[in-house]
Amino acid sequence: MLTFIVRRLIMTIAILFIVSLIVFTIMHMLPGDPVAIMLGDQASVEEIERLRTELGLDKPLPVQYADWLLNVLQGDLGRSISYNEDVGQLVRDRLPISFHIGLSAFVLAIVLGIPAGIIAAVKRGGWLDSLITVTANLGMAVPVFWLGILGVYLFSLKLGWLPVQGYTSPFEDLGQSFRQTVMPVVLLSLGALATLARQTRSSMLEVIRQDYIRTARAKGVKENRVIMKHALRNALIPIITILGMGLASLVGGSVFIEQVFNIPGMGRLMVQSIFGKDYVVVQSVVLIVASVVALGNLAVDIAYGLIDPRIRLGK
């Protein structure tokens, strides 16, 4: 098992290096000068060149990349061009917000999605199966930002139940925090919830047709035990894959959700930095999100090995 984990860890490090290189290259290929954008149209050529030199943007691209990567490995994410702040501080201010929204949506999707898929599979062909399937299809098809706008119009402007926008930490005001985050959390969870419900249903239907399930039932094993212990465990691998992919929402959040509800999270920070060509912020945020995704995939691979010994043995 240790060899399996080390091999996956080496692959994870290689992937993060490739991601950082790709993001760095793409950001520097975009048209526009971040220094000129920051100083405005009235800045002189001398002022622009002086600031470019201070920020190290006059160096060759390979040198800029090497300097940035070396600083990141030492824990220094650099200084934002647009905000003129330490990127690490910007991330520390916004990461808990995205983590709060993302983790709440992630848990909600698991708590509702997996049981819904199990029920749909067990009640296959019934009205409950049809209801869950149709609802899941709608959840995957309807754009989240459109639902967000409708939610703001209905629950905020018409009914006045919830705030229109903003974010309050639960440590400051738990009630206000709940009222401000309930819509973003529900909307952010819809896609993952629908996907989990569909995938769980599909995996369960495939498993419950197997001979060992029929044998367990023939031996008189209780139906709940057959479903939860025998069927669900063997249907978990594709479900775990989806859960691993959903870990990106813990830090990246949803750009659409954060824009609609004016939430100062990581996704909104990245969008604003892209428009401002703030290389350092975009590279750092993407690297953090990629790290979470890569570690999530590593956790998924380890979970595969724990669930199915044939995977960790390479069979």
CA distance 130 to 123: 9
Nearest to 191 by CA among 148, 258, 131, 144: 144
DSSP-based three-state secondary structure for 243: helix
Q: Which residue has the higher pLDDT, 41 or 28?
A: 28
How far apart, in whole angstroms, are the C-alpha atoms of residue 267 and residue 162? 22
Helix (H) or strand (E) holding 9: helix 2-29
Domain definitions of the chain by residue range: 95-275
The DSSP code for 230 is I
111-120, 160-169, 237-246, 256-265, range with greatest mean pLDDT: 111-120
Distance CA 246, CA 259 (A): 20
The pLDDT of residue 37: 66
Give the tens place of pLDDT for each residue, 55-103.
777 778 888 888 888 888 888 887 787 777 888 888 888 888 888 888 8
Q: Which residue has the tokens 């905000």?
A: 83
Number of Cα atoms under 13 Å in the Cβ half of residue 314: 6
Superfamily of 95-275 according to CATH: MetI-like (1.10.3720.10)
pLDDT digit string (tens) for 149-188?
Answer: 888 888 888 888 888 888 888 888 888 888 888 888 888 8
> Among 13-27, 38-52, 298-312, which is the least confidently predicted range?
298-312
| Residue 298 · residue 12 · CB < 8 Å | yes
3-state SS assignment for residue 79: strand
Question: Confidence class of residue 252 from pLDDT cuts 50, 70 and 90?
Answer: low
Look at 2-16, 43-57, 254-268, 300-314 and tell me which has the smallest mean pLDDT.
300-314
Greater model confidence, 222 or 307 = 222
Work out the percent of the chain whose per-residue pLDDT is above 90: 0
Residue environment code for 100-119, b if the CB has 16+ CB neighbours within 10 A, otherwise e: bbbebbbebbbebbbebbbb
- For 60, list phi and psi in degrees, rounded to 5: -60, 150
Query: Which pLDDT tens digit goes with each residue over 259-300?
Result: 888 888 888 888 888 877 777 888 888 888 888 877 777 777
Return left, alpha or beta for 179; rule: phi > 0 is left, psi -120 to 50 is alpha, else beta: alpha
